[in-house]
Amino acid sequence: MVIIGEKINSSNKKVASALGKKDMEFIQKLAKEQVEAGADYIDVNAGMFGDQEAELLAWLVKTVQAVVRTPCCLDSPNPDAIKEALEVHQGRAMVNSITSEKERYQKLVPLVKHYQAKVIALCLGEKGIPETVDERFLSAKRIIDDLLKEGFHLPDIYVDPLIQPIAINSSAAIIALELIERVMKCYLGIHTVCGISNISYGLPLRRMLNVSFLIMARAKGLDTAILDPCDHLVLSAVLASEALAGKDAHGLKYISAFRKGRIK
Amino acid sequence: MVLSTSLLSERGGSSDGVGMEIIKRISDELSDGEADKIELLTLEALRQGLSPEIILKEGLIAGMNIIGERFKQGELFVPEVLLAARAMQAGMNILKPRLIQTGVKPAGRIIIGTVKGDLHDIGKNLVAMMLEGGGFEIIDLGIDTAPERFVKEVRDKKPQILAMSALLTTTLPMMKATIEALKAEGLRDKVKILVGGAPLSQRYADEIGSDGYAPDAVSAVAKARELLNLTGT
């Protein structure tokens, strides 16, 4: 499973304060510990900073990539911020995210193509998040087909089924799981990705639900997740579900992680 | 309906004052979140001759206050609050026409909506339900609400409070834009502004010139009451 480390996000107060004073050491520590724990991408988000977002997002990319060789996942709906970040990014970044919404789509597509970035596509409809699996699949299909017409390759597209809290809608997890399965079956070679923690909003012992959902989603084909790889329970679930899904030959990755004390 | 006789018959009588027992049951049993039961209890209370106002204030609203408090303490969780709020609404729907008939005024009128460019409605809906549970009249403008629309509705409907929600860091500036639009139309001092949403903070709420910030649906009710200088229940 491809792991996108979620910790460098400006909605976290400590991160926001570090960003505010451009505390390189703090940011680099978060980047390093996530890569050591197994992150394949480092998510960077400076969304709390409004007008300064573009500048700070680019600063985050430079700061992170000064200490790790890992690509970043550029977390912003703002094409201007994405542009500045892509300009300084080394290697192939992932852009998080694109939607069918016209203005955003038209601005982001040329950028993503120019920098050969990978892209996360959200299954949003005209009026928010479609409620049924069928409707949501149609909105996924629409954006995937559009991206393919633009010349994108399936392995560079990551579809986000959009996770809603089961506290509000008991079917929220099932809908996302079915969507993951359908997208993975209909578009061979494409990826699916989600941030898992939204699933448990409003309920006690959230980690338990997050991890259970992750394992269920892995069984449906989810191959990328935005999560905290430094959380032992989460990482253990990732590696265990990989082994169970037949994606870890002879369980060697699982064994190795155990031996290094990364899972317990 | 079988439920009604079995549930209510043994306690139907109102030997202690004027049926206050049933009022207490409405308030107590809201937390079970069973809309049918609350409907029946509300009807029974009316049958016993209690005024819609008493049933509302001392039954439904008092019950929701307790639920809000227990949620704050971490005893109840979001789905339970949601079910209680729905049960409360079931009771409200029965009382509404009677309240209008008897000329009982709501605690205040609140216009609520998610700001332009933002499609999140879960939190906003929860806040709307809790406010309704707190005795306010709610006009919900839904999601993706442009500043002009807020301005128009404030002018036409004359609410005491305008409540805005934003869940994205990128749509937060629309709150300020809406406040500026109200100022430009000379309506800013006609309405109190309450804001909320995950990326907000008290500091941000102050910066954009709102009147109040609520970090969750339960505090939104308390804040709304505070803004209108309402005391007690």
List of domains in chain B: 2-101 (1.10.1240.10), 109-227 (3.40.50.280)
Predicted local distance difference test score (pLDDT) of residue A262: 85
d(CA B138, CA B131): 7
Which residues from B are below 8 Å from A when comparing CB atoms?
Answer: 77-79, 82, 119-122, 126, 143-144, 168-170, 172-173, 198-199
What's the half-sphere exposure (Cβ side, CA atoms, 13 Å) at B3?
10
Token output for A254: 């699982």
Q: Does A50 or A175 have the greater pLDDT score?
A: A175
- CA–CA gap between residue B130 and residue B112 (Å, rounded): 12
Residue from A168, A197, A199 to probe the interface with B (highest B Cβ count within 10 Å): A168
Task: Give the pLDDT band of residue A253 (cuts 50, 70, 90).
Answer: very high
- pLDDT score of B44: 96
Average pLDDT per consecutive 10 residues, chain B (233 residues; last block may be shorter): 42 53 92 93 95 92 90 91 91 90 88 91 88 90 95 97 90 92 96 93 91 91 92 58
Q: What pLDDT is recorded for position A191? A: 98
Residues of A within 8 A of B123 (CB-CB) are: none
Note the pLDDT tens digit of each residue in A101-159. 888 899 999 999 999 999 999 988 777 788 899 999 999 999 999 999 999 999 999 99
CB–CB contact A129 B119 (8 Å)? yes
Task: Report which of A45, A54, A61 is spatially closest to residue A6, judged by C-alpha positions.
Answer: A45
Phi, psi of B64 (to 5 degrees): -65, -35
Q: Which residues of B touch A47 (CB under 8 A)?
A: 168-170, 199
- Can you list the alpha helix ranges (DSSP code H) found in chain A? 13-20, 24-37, 53-65, 79-88, 102-114, 133-149, 172-186, 206-220, 232-244, 252-259
Domains of chain A: 2-230 (3.20.20.20)
Nearest residue of A to residue B204, measured between CA atoms: A48
Residue type, position B120, single letter: H
Hey, are the CB atoms on A167 and B78 less than 8 Å from each other? yes
Q: Give the ipTM of the model, two decimals please.
A: 0.81
**How far is Cα B80 from Cα A203, in angstroms, rounded to an integer?**
10
C-beta atoms of A47 and B198 within 8 A: no
Encode pLDDT of B151-177 as tens digits.
Answer: 999 999 999 999 999 988 778 889 999
Nearest to A167 among B77, B119, B198 (CB): B77
Contact criterion met (CB < 8 Å) for B119 and A201: no
